[in-house]
Amino acid sequence: MPASISHRTWASSSLDICCTSTAASSWCRPAIIRERFSVKGYWLIVGTEISDQEAQAEYARLWKPIGEKYQARTNTTKQPPLLVEARDAKRMVLVEFPSLEIAKACYADPAYAQAIRFALKASNRTLVMFEGDLG
């Protein structure tokens, strides 16, 4: 009668390791089952100085539930970005999404279409979407 074999997989930082249990023994082998990629979607928003604080505040108010809906994580800088090969910019925001598809869906959401009107009134800005693993 064949021994019963069960497999358990644990996720490490970027690899899955397989452990096998049989009636006779239990052991882990360092075999890589599959690599896990943490490729995410991003918005990089570069903007000029805010010229309409009320519009910016309204954008922030509208953005909060939208960002939560799409699992967005916002990273801002305290200092203005160092401009090497760019136009005048005073602010930079990196918004992380679980995937590029989710980042695109967020931008296409009708609620965001309402919010973006206030962002564009508050300052000149450029939004770039991209996919990557920023680790």
Q: What are the structural domains of the chain?
A: 6-35 (no CATH), 40-132 (3.30.70.100)
Measuring CA to CA, which residue among 131, 129, 121 is closest to residue 62? 121
Query: What is the pLDDT tens value at each position of the chain, 135 positions in all?
Result: 444 444 444 444 444 444 545 555 554 444 443 334 579 999 999 999 999 999 999 999 999 999 999 999 999 888 878 888 867 888 999 999 999 999 999 999 999 999 999 999 999 999 999 999 887
Report pLDDT for 76. 87
C-alpha–C-alpha distance, residues 52 and 111, integer Å: 21
pLDDT of residue 63: 98
Question: Given strand 73-76, what is the order of strands in its sheet?
Answer: 73-76, 91-97, 40-47, 125-132
Distance separating the N- and C-terminal Cα atoms of the chain: 47
Candidates 46, 38, 14; CA nearest to 100 is 38
Taking the mean position of all CA atoms in its chain, how far away is CA 89? 22
Report d(CA 56, CA 97) in Å as an integer: 22
Token reading at 66: 């939208």
